[in-house]
Structures are given as structure tokens and as C-alpha cells.
Structure 1
Amino acid sequence: MAIESLRERTGMMSDVAKKFSVLINFSDLTSSELEKQAKDLCNTLTSGDHSNLNYDELIVEMRSFPKQWPKQNMTILDLLVFLEENALKEIYPNMWVALRIAVTTPVTVASAERSFSKLKLIKAYLRSTMSQECLNLLAIISINREISKQISYDDTIDDFAAKKSRRVRFYI
């Protein structure tokens, strides 16, 4: 069952990778292949009547993109950084949106599953003694434990105490 689940997830992730591959290899594609793959990508990023990309503009942007890339074998993230550093996101807005979506698509669902697992542990233990806001904040800290390990709690407590100090100083 676990092996079948892994095969299914791998297949789904490879399908997603194929959809976004046009963003990297568009300079190597023939005109008809480019149009077909761009249409697939636009259809993938469409929900109901709303589309995140304009198909015709995306084709024009890909065809007008400089043939000489800054470096060989650029990744989607490299291309996104290139557009940002050279202030080209206004010139290639559809590519900009598609690249941003591509880099934010999770490679696995493990982080989401981990988040729900953590929330279940926290909520079961603290459910009756804590407000919803406090529970949410603790869940965020627990889920992002790598970042939270870098926080100096002593400094945070000192900052909080300084801001919330209610002592009134009387000067003589």
C-alpha cells in the first residue's frame, strides 16, 4: 500500500513538472509544441472562468525572450531571480506569474501532513486550557521549529516586558 501511494504521488508530481517544464525549455521547442505546452499550462492554472495567465500574451513573451540566457541549464528559480534582478517582470508579466506559481508549488505534501500532525498533538493536549489565538500561535511555532530555534526567547521576553511595562516613574 505504501509503495503504491509513493508511485501515485510520484506520478502526480511528474505530471506537475511536465506542465511547468515549458517555462524552462520554451527556447528549444518548435512553434506548435510551444503553443500546445503553453495552452496546457494556462489550462492548468485556470479555475472556472478565471485564468492566472493570458495564453496569447504568454506565447508572445516566450517568443520574445532573449535567446541568450545568462547561464546554461537555468532552473525555474534561476529564471525567476533573473527576471527580478533585471527588472523584467513588467515586460514578461505572464512568465513572472507562472514562474512564481511554479516555485511555490510544493514538491511533496510532507510539510502539510507534518503541520496537521503537529496541530493534532498540540490541540489534543492543550484544547481545554487555551484560547484559539494562542493555540494557533503555538502551532505555528511548533510547525516551523527550525526557524523558532533561532529565536532568542530571552530577548523576546525583554522586548515584551519593556513594551508592556506599567511602572510609572516618579521623578523627584
Structure 2
Amino acid sequence: MDIEPEFPSKRQRKRKRHHDEINDQEEEIQLSAMESFRVNYFLVIVDNAILSLTSRFDQLKKFEKLFGFLFNSKNLKSLDDSKLQECCATFAKAFSDDKSSNVDLHDFVSELKVLQVTLPDGLMSALEILQFVMAVDCYPNVSVAYRILLTVPVTVASAERSFSKLKLLKNYLRSTMLQDRLNGLAMCCIEKDILDNVDLDCALNDFASRNARRNFF
């Protein structure tokens, strides 16, 4: 940035001492320019950054505490029966209320115990474990747990991106656009990576077949 990292020293003004002041009174601490910058700016910025990062990752810590044993096959296979029971109880409690629960705790523990010994050797991700579970179709509670794990949002990045795209669309086109069209364009902008893989010819043919207004005589 072409800024010289220099801190020029300024002459410190000395306060006039009155005759009735005690001689051993504490003198005001005088900081050099570099020390003043470090105390009043640098350390303040560092403290704010640490505080922001800590609060930012609190959610991830809670997520890891709840789903950590399901992250991969290594984590799952490393659990003994007591630890597995504890993790499953925490998970079931988080996704239940007074009337119902997304998973049955007893069946969930039993299914995971069987899964620990039936999973193929080698490290498997959560998605690969879900694909394995769906293929054999005999672990209903485990299937629910992994689907929750893989669909729970753990960051606001997607939401921030959505609002960013929506702001652009509303600024340039909102005055002449209906809500349905705004929703469609927002989806196209937000999911551009998926849109790039769409076969346009098939999409056009499908659109034409749905909106055909031909008169046959």
C-alpha cells in the first residue's frame, strides 16, 4: 500500500506542577508512538477478531459435538458401546420433543452396532455411508440420521450469497418484474453451477410442449 511503517515521535507536553502537589504522586505513563499504536489499535483489532472467530465457530463446535460420530466410518468404528450409547442419546434428544422423535434410540443404537461391523474397510465419508445404507435398505434410523447430517446448514454463507444475488436482481429488474419471475431468476443466479449443466435444448423442448398454443383445423 506504499505506506511506510514508521511512527514519528511527537514531543510530549509536560503538565505544569502546582506547588501544593505531592512530589511522589504517580506520573502519567507516557507511551511511544509505536506502543500507543499497539495498545490502542493493533491489540483492539486482534481482540475483536478473536471474539468474532470464537462466536463464528461456536455453531460448528455444537455441530461437531452432535454429529461428530457420524462424520466418517473411522469415527463410527472407533466408538465403544458406552460412548456409542451416549452419542446416540444426545442425537435423539436433539431431534425429539415431548410427543415424537425422528429416531428411535434403542433401534438407532442397535443399527449402528451392526453397521460398525458391516461397513467396508477403508475410510468412508458420511455421504458414502448414506449411499451404502440406502443400498442395503435395512437401517431406517441410521438413514434418517445421515440425511439430517447432510442437509443441516452449518454456515450463513449460502444465505449471504442468496441475499447478495437478490439485491442485484431487485435493484435492476424488480420494478418491472412479478414475484414468480423474481423467484425463478434468483434461483438461477444462486444455483448457477447447477444451471450450467442443464441441457438447454431439452429445457426449451419441455417449455414449448407445456406452452403450445397451436390450433388444429
Alignment TM class, shorter chain as reference: 0.7 to 0.9
In 2 relative to 1, CA 133–47 (structure 1 residues): closer, same or farther, beyond 3 Å? farther
What does the per-residue CA deviation read over 1:57-105, in whole Å, with 9 as the maximum and x for residues that have no partner?
Answer: 11121223351531222221121111122x23xx211111001111122
TM-score normalized by the length of structure 2: 0.65
Aligned to 1:49: 99
- Identify unmatched segments of 5+ residues in structure 2: 1-47
In 2 relative to 1, CA 167–65 (structure 1 residues): closer, same or farther, beyond 3 Å? closer
In 2 relative to 1, CA 155–77 (structure 1 residues): closer, same or farther, beyond 3 Å? closer
The range that moved more, 6-15 or 56-65, is 6-15
Aligned to 2:51: 4
Distance 2:95 2:101 in 1: 6
Aligned to 1:122: 169
Contact 1:53 1:97 in 2 (8 A): yes
In 2 relative to 1, CA 158–36 (structure 1 residues): closer, same or farther, beyond 3 Å? closer
Shift of 1:51: 1.8
Q: How many residues align?
A: 167
What SS does the aligned partner of 1:73 have?
coil
TM-score normalized by the length of structure 1: 0.79
Cα RMSD over matched residues?
2.6
Shift of 1:142: 1.1
Structure 1 residue 106 corresponds to structure 2 residue 153:
yes
Aligned to 2:31: none
Query: Which structure has more RCO (C-alpha within 8 Å, separation ≥ 6)?
Result: 1
- Identify unmatched segments of 5+ residues in structure 1: none
In 2 relative to 1, CA 49–3 (structure 1 residues): closer, same or farther, beyond 3 Å? farther
Distance 1:79 1:70 in 2: 10
Give 1 or 2 for the bigger CA radius of gyration.
2
Shift of 1:114: 0.5
Shift of 1:13: 1.1
Question: Percent identical across equivalent pairs?
Answer: 39
Amino acid across the alignment from 1:73: L
Shift of 1:136: 0.7
Distance 2:214 2:107 in 1: 62
Aligned to 1:95: 142
Amino acid across the alignment from 1:37: C
Aligned to 1:38: 88
Distance 1:73 1:42 in 2: 25
In 2 relative to 1, CA 48–74 (structure 1 residues): closer, same or farther, beyond 3 Å? same
Shift of 1:7: 2.9
